[in-house]
Amino acid sequence: MAFIGLIFLSPLFLLMTTALFLVNRGNPFFVQRRPGRNKKIFHLIKYKTMTDKRADDGSLLPDEERITSLGNLIRKSSLDEIPQLLNVLVGHMSLVGPRPLLVEYLPLYNAEQARRHDVRPGITGWAQVNGRNEVSWRAKFEMDVWYLNHVCFLLDLKILWLTTKKVFLREGISSQTSISMDKFTGK
């Protein structure tokens, strides 16, 4: 399915890659280390929607100040996720599963939350179609574990359908306090 998706989306993929190359004055991709199945680290690929602008002290400016107009449009339409089809093709990810989070969160998980690494992470998942970035970390982890306990082909089809619906409705993209998800602190 990922291969078919890449073929079908290739004109959009090429257009967005070119546009982001120009807007970002270089690299159109954001690559970050993330833990996958069995906590094995891989490189997640997304479209780069923010600049690397820094404050005088060298720290990155807040997300709200770094996101570009094109990046904002791409993020709101969830098109920034398209390059992850490459992660699916090479076997690091699945279309459906718990979203891969940051490596720095690994030591913060309790035993139940860590179960999310029993399966490949997904481009979309049960938590994404039930609130995405608008739900608490606790609720998100509970939904990830619920998915693990109920995983089946029909559930994956339902999640893919609901994801398509969410993308067109543009629901749950930002948290209440940030344009992305607030940091997980282990609490």
Distance, in Å, from the CA atom of 85 to the CA atom of 92, rounded to the nearest integer, reads 10
Average pLDDT over residues 120-149: 93
Work out the pLDDT band at 175, boundaries 50, 70, 90. Answer: very low
Domain ranges of the chain: 2-169
Question: Is residue 156 a contact partner of residue 95, using CB atoms and an 8 Å limit?
Answer: yes
Nearest to 38 by CA among 120, 142, 143: 120
- Burial of 45 by CB count in 10 Å (0-12 exposed, 13-18 middle, 19+ buried)? buried
Q: Which two tokens stand for residue 133?
A: 């970035």
**What is the CB neighbour count within 10 angstroms for residue 110?**
9
Give the per-residue pLDDT at 180: 63
Average pLDDT over residues 38-52: 95
Q: Which two tokens stand for residue 174?
A: 């930002």
pLDDT at 100 over 60: yes
If one compares 148 and 77, the residue with the highest pLDDT of the two is: 148
pTM of the predicted model as reported, rounded to 2 decimal places:
0.86
Give the C-alpha distances (Å, rounded to integers) separating 133 from 106, 119, 121, 144: 19, 21, 17, 14
User: What is the residue-averaged pLDDT of the chain?
Assistant: 90
Give the per-residue pLDDT at 74: 92
Counts for the chain of helices (H) and strands (E), in that order = 7, 4
pLDDT at 174 over 70: no
**What is the CB neighbour count within 10 angstroms for residue 137?**
19
Q: Which two tokens stand for residue 138?
A: 């606790």
pLDDT at 54 over 60: yes
Average pLDDT over residues 83-101: 96
Maximum mean pLDDT: which of 24-28, 60-64, 94-98: 94-98
pLDDT at 178 over 80: no
